[in-house]
Amino acid sequence: MSFHRSGPSYGNRRASVQRLGGLLVALACLLFPAFARAADPPAKIVALGDSLTAGLGLPMNASFPAKLARALQAKGYAVGITNAGVSGDTTAGGLARLDWSVPEGTDAVILELGANDMLRGLDPKLTKATLDQILSKLAARHIPVLLAGMKAMRNLGSDYAREFDTIYPALASTHSVVFYPFFLAGVASDPKLNQDDGLHPNAAGVDVIVARILPQVEALIARARAARRP
């Protein structure tokens, strides 16, 4: 005698449950964008810069990359940000260490270099050429970039300031980057937001930088995710 079980088999029920689960995830992504962001694989971002990135004079957890990572995570983004800032670094130094500072598997780069070139009075043409090389190398590796601009101190003379200040907008017009015109916007020259040297942001100053640059970093992450898709 044989018995025949009526109704759906275990396999069919499992498929139904899987389909239902997929629909619930899709619905959650639609209704709650933060859920969709968290569901993505973590974005690996390298912040390549000088002391402004490294966090000179600040605890490591108060540096720009650390505070930026926390701000993004609070908005539901799965990210990891490597602090590849080296105090005193010029654009030439950044170019020299580019390959090991931005390892394979990096999804995006925040490029913040040039302030030390300016403070040393280096020829803006050389600074621009070096940044151009960095951007070209990253483009060849298909790594999206957020280019953080810098402006010259006015005591260097109007001619120098005028030439230096054109570097970053010119590069942004020739490279496909997310552009943030001035990394120290809202912070430069404000004693309440800078350390005693008047050059490096204090913890409150870093908070201002993070809040202002956050939309551009979100745009960078969107580009990185788009680049992942086949």
Catalytic site positions = 51, 197, 200
Q: What is the 3-state secondary structure (H, E, C) of 164-189?
A: HHCHHHHHHHHCCCEEECCCCCCCCC
Q: Is residue 221 a contact partner of residue 43, using CB atoms and an 8 Å limit?
A: yes
Contact predicate 52/118, CB 8 Å = no
Helix boundaries (H) for the chain:
10-31, 33-39, 51-54, 64-74, 91-96, 98-101, 115-119, 124-140, 158-165, 167-174, 203-228
